[in-house]
DNA sequence: CGTGAGTTTGACCAGATGGTCAAATCAAGA
DNA sequence: TCTTGATTTGACCATCTGGTCAAACTCACG
């Protein structure tokens, strides 16, 4: 295992390569379905070499998830109580949809984990995620109280945004099987935009 | 392997027990994460005994999926061109949401498969599912042409229904982590109902 | 009962997989 | 250049896992 000092040039490069490869493999096959060998090969390393940088398969997975959770939640974090309600929410939705398009691996990484009961990130959900969501639903509720947007169950409003946007990344195969050549996001963006404009208009 | 004749009492019982156990295990751990031993134990059989009824792990999975696909698509099948548009669609949505509540294992079984690229049911998606969806989107389009419901991209309308309803089964842990003790479906039903009434009203 | 088909299982196997380790190789500063 | 710590690897191991098989057992029915 590399020492605890400042990481060398090689350490930086290899750690990054490993996490990149792990993202590919874990998101495509789930934790159990991924093999250390596969990740190592994709990162251009031998298996023992990979295990020189991370002590175990589990450690790679954990590092990936915790490293990406912040990225994943950033758009919600940005929801600003002082902004225009409708524009803030629509901007959030747009960013989430962009993330489904541009970061589908990240989306599927979390989807894999969640579908199987989140055995490895359960704590983060009940703490970090819940805290953030509660904070933001408070803003939504305030906007509803002020009559700026329609009154709805704020938690389910958030869930609906996650569901609608992440669907395109997580169930990409299904979407493409049905749409054929049509670009999913071409139609999804105006559809979802219209949906929330209608829904949120008081 | 049991002969091809009419199944005996024992065969019926054991095949059913195996499929029930497999549904539990595959939906909770995915194909790769499930072990034959685990399924056998949960079905109350020894591993070789289980393999007397199904030739392989893959065969159990295939039998499960193809057996459940019909159940899964039944609600969409029922969408009736001659019914009242708004009521037909809302009834479909309600049935889908009930299925998420009552058949979460089935939902997660498909979710696991889809998230990982549907390696084992890709053909069904491009054939059976696409055919059914195209048939039903034709009805939706007609309703839109007649001004009975708002004009929207019909495929994305279907996707949105799947996303919103199945989210509660597939990402159950996340939903419950955020809602705490609150029953997810209690709030989901009126939320989704409101959403589609607003969205579909011309 | 007896018998043949249907059912069950202990023992076993081959390949995959996560992980270890000592030895070899490499890189960078003194 | 030399040395020392960082990096890399081939060989190896224990365990897990899907699957096989022959032998034993059970059941239904004549």
ipTM of the complex in this document: 0.94
pLDDT in tens, B53-72: 999 999 999 999 999 999 99
Contact B162 A159 (CB under 8 A): no
By C1' distance from the Cα of A52, the closest nucleotide is D7
pLDDT digits (tens, 9 = 90+) for B116-156: 999 999 999 999 999 999 999 999 999 999 999 999 999 99
Q: For A105, left (φ over 0), alpha (ψ -120 to 50), or beta?
A: alpha
Query: What digits encode the pLDDT tens for the residues A128-182?
Result: 999 999 999 999 999 999 999 999 999 999 999 999 999 999 999 999 999 999 9
Q: Determine the pLDDT at residue A140.
A: 98
Residue B193 has what pLDDT? 98
Q: Residue A3 pLDDT more than 70?
A: no
Between chains, do A33 and B28 touch, taking CB under 8 Å as contact? no
A36 touches A53 (CB < 8 A): no
Name the residue among B122, B125, B194 with its Cβ closest to that of A152.
Answer: B194
Phi, psi of B51, deg, nearest 5: -75, -5
Distance, CA of B135 to CA of B137 (rounded, Å): 6
| Eight-state DSSP code of residue A8 | P
Instruction: Mark the nucleotides of strand D covered by protein, meaning any atom under 7 Å from a CB.
Output: 5-11, 16-22, 28
| CA pair distance B31, A72, nearest whole angstrom | 27
Whole-number pLDDT of residue A25: 98
CA separation for the pair A160, B191 (Å, rounded): 9
pTM: 0.95
- Separation CA A184–CA B86 (nearest Å): 25
C-alpha to C-alpha distance for A138 and A154, rounded to whole angstroms: 8
Using the CA of A32, give the nucleotide whose C1' is nearest: C17
Distance CA B120, CA B101 (A): 25
Chain C positions with an atom below 7 A of a protein C-beta are 5-11, 16-22, 27-28
**CA-angle at B156, arms to B151 and B159, nearest 5°:** 135
Summary mean pLDDT of chain A: 96
Contact B156 A114 (CB under 8 A): no
Nucleotide in closest CA–C1' contact with B50: C8
Report residue B59 as tokens.
């065969």
Are A81 and A139 a contacting pair, CB within 8 Å?
yes
For residue A118, give the nearest of B166, B173, B187 by CB distance. Answer: B173
């Amino acid at each position: 295992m590399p020492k605890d000092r400042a990481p060398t040039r090689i350490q930086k490069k290899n750690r990054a390569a490993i996490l990149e490869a792990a993202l590919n493999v874990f998101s495509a096959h789930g934790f159990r379905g991924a093999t250390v060998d596969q990740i190592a090969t994709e990162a251009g390393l031998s298996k023992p070499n990979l295990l020189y940088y991370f002590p175990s398969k589990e450690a790679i997975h954990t590092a990936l998830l915790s490293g990406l959770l912040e990225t994943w939640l950033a758009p919600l974090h940005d929801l600003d109580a002082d902004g225009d309600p409708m524009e803030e929410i629509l901007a959030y939705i747009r960013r989430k949809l962009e993330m489904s398009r541009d970061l589908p691996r990240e989306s599927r990484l979390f989807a894999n984990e969640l579908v199987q009961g989140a055995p490895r990130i359960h704590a983060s959900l009940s703490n970090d995620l819940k805290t953030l969501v509660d904070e933001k639903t408070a803003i939504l509720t305030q906007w509803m109280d002020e009559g700026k947007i329609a009154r709805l169950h704020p938690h389910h409003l958030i869930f609906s945004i996650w569901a609608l946007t992440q669907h395109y990344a997580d169930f990409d195969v299904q979407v493409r099987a049905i749409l054929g050549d049509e670009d999913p996001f071409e139609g999804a963006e105006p559809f979802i935009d219209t949906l929330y404009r209608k829904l949120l208009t008081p």
